[in-house]
C-alpha cells in the first residue's frame, strides 16, 4: 500500500476497516497519472482495471464501484451486487464487501454503527448534499443505516469520517448553490463567504458536518476544512476536476471483516 494513502483515524469497532486512496501507485499515464480508479473519464480501460485490482489487493476486500449520478439514492449491496449500480451511496452488512465512492473534488463520507454491524459510504457533491426539500444523500444514508439495525438505536450511535474534497478557499459557487442550503437551514450561511457580487466561497466539508450534526451525529472525524484536505491545493496527492478538468478519480472505501 502506498504510504501516502489515507487510513482514517477514528474509533470504529474492531472488524471495521476503511481506506482512502490518493494518486500514489497505479499505472495510468497523462492527466490520469497514478492510481486512477474511474472508468468513465477517458483513461485506458486496461489501466483502470489494473488500478482497481491493485486497490482491492491493498484492502483485502472487494470494492464495489457505483455509477454515481449526483443524486441521493442509497444502494444496499451484497455478494450478488455488481459494479455500476446507479446510486451515490452504498451500505452493507456483508463482510469482505467494500462500500466505495470515487471522487475528484466531491466529498467522500464513510459511516459505521457503534457495533460495526453495518457500514456505508456516500458521495457528497453539493447537489447530493443539498438534495431535495432538505433531504440529501447524507440524510438518506443515515436513515438507511438506522433502519432495522441492532447496531444503532439513533444517529448518535453512528461514527462518520469525512475525506478529502475541494477546500473552502477555492470552491467558488454562485447563488444557485448557496440559496438552497440557506433556505433549508439559515445557519448554512456561515459556510459561505462572499467574494464578489453573486459569487461565494463554499465550505463543502463544513456544510456536510453541519447537516450531520443536525441529524444528531456527534462523532465526526476527518476533514476539518484545512488546506491539507483540499483536493485542488494538493495536485501531487489528489485528483481534482475543478483544477484540471481532465483527471482521474481516487476512492474511499469501508468494509467489515469477521
Residue-level pLDDT at 39: 97
- Spatial distance between the Cα atoms of 110 and 143, rounded to a whole number of angstroms: 14
Residue-level pLDDT at 215: 97
The 8 Å CB, 24+ separation contacts for 21-26 are 21/55, 21/250, 21/251, 21/252, 22/237, 22/238, 22/250, 23/236, 23/237, 23/238, 23/239, 23/248, 23/250, 24/237, 25/1, 25/51, 25/54, 26/50, 26/51, 26/54
Residue-level pLDDT at 258: 81
Q: What is the pLDDT along the chain (258 residues), one digit of tens a residue?
A: 888 999 999 999 999 999 999 999 999 999 999 999 999 999 999 999 999 999 999 999 999 999 999 999 999 999 999 999 999 999 999 999 999 999 999 999 999 999 999 999 999 999 999 999 989 999 999 999 999 999 899 999 999 999 999 999 999 999 999 999 999 999 999 999 999 999 999 999 999 999 999 999 999 999 999 999 999 999 999 999 999 999 999 999 999 998
Segment holding 256, helix H or strand E? strand 250-256
Domains of the chain by range and CATH? 16-166+223-256 (3.60.140.10)
Residue-level pLDDT at 1: 82
Closest CA to 209 of 146, 165, 239: 165
Residue-level pLDDT at 3: 86
Residue-level pLDDT at 93: 97
Amino acid at each position: 500500500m502506498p504510504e501516502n494513502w489515507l487510513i482514517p483515524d477514528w474509533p470504529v469497532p474492531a472488524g471495521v476497516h476503511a481506506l482512502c486512496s490518493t494518486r500514489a501507485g497505479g499505472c495510468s499515464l497523462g492527466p490520469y497519472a497514478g492510481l486512477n480508479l474511474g472508468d468513465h473519464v477517458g483513461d485506458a480501460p486496461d489501466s483502470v482495471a489494473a488500478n482497481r485490482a491493485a486497490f482491492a489487493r491493498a484492502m483485502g476486500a472487494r470494492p464495489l464501484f457505483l455509477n454515481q449520478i449526483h443524486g441521493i439514492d442509497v444502494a444496499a449491496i451484497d455478494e450478488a451486487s455488481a459494479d455500476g449500480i446507479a446510486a451515490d451511496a452504498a451500505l452493507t452488512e456483508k463482510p469482505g464487501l467494500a462500500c466505495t465512492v470515487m471522487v475528484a473534488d466531491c466529498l467522500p463520507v464513510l459511516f459505521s454503527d457503534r457495533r460495526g454491524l453495518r457500514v456505508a459510504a456516500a458521495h457528497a457533491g453539493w447537489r447530493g448534499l443539498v438534495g431535495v426539500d432538505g433531504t440529501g444523500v447524507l440524510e438518506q444514508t443515515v436513515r438507511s443505516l438506522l433502519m432495522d439495525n441492532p447496531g444503532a438505536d439513533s444517529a448518535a450511535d453512528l461514527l462518520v469520517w469525512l475525506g478529502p474534497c475541494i477546500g473552502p478557499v477555492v470552491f467558488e459557487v454562485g447563488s444557485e448553490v448557496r440559496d438552497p442550503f440557506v433556505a433549508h437551514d439559515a445557519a448554512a450561511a456561515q459556510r459561505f463567504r462572499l467574494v464578489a457580487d453573486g459569487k461565494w466561497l463554499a465550505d463543502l466539508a463544513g456544510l456536510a458536518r453541519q447537516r450531520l450534526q443536525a441529524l444528531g451525529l456527534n462523532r465526526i472525524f476527518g476533514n476539518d476544512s484545512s488546506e491539507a484536505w483540499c483536493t485542488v491545493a494538493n495536485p501531487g496527492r489528489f485528483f481534482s476536476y475543478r483544477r484540471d478538468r481532465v483527471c482521474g478519480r481516487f476512492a474511499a472505501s469501508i468494509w467489515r471483516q469477521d
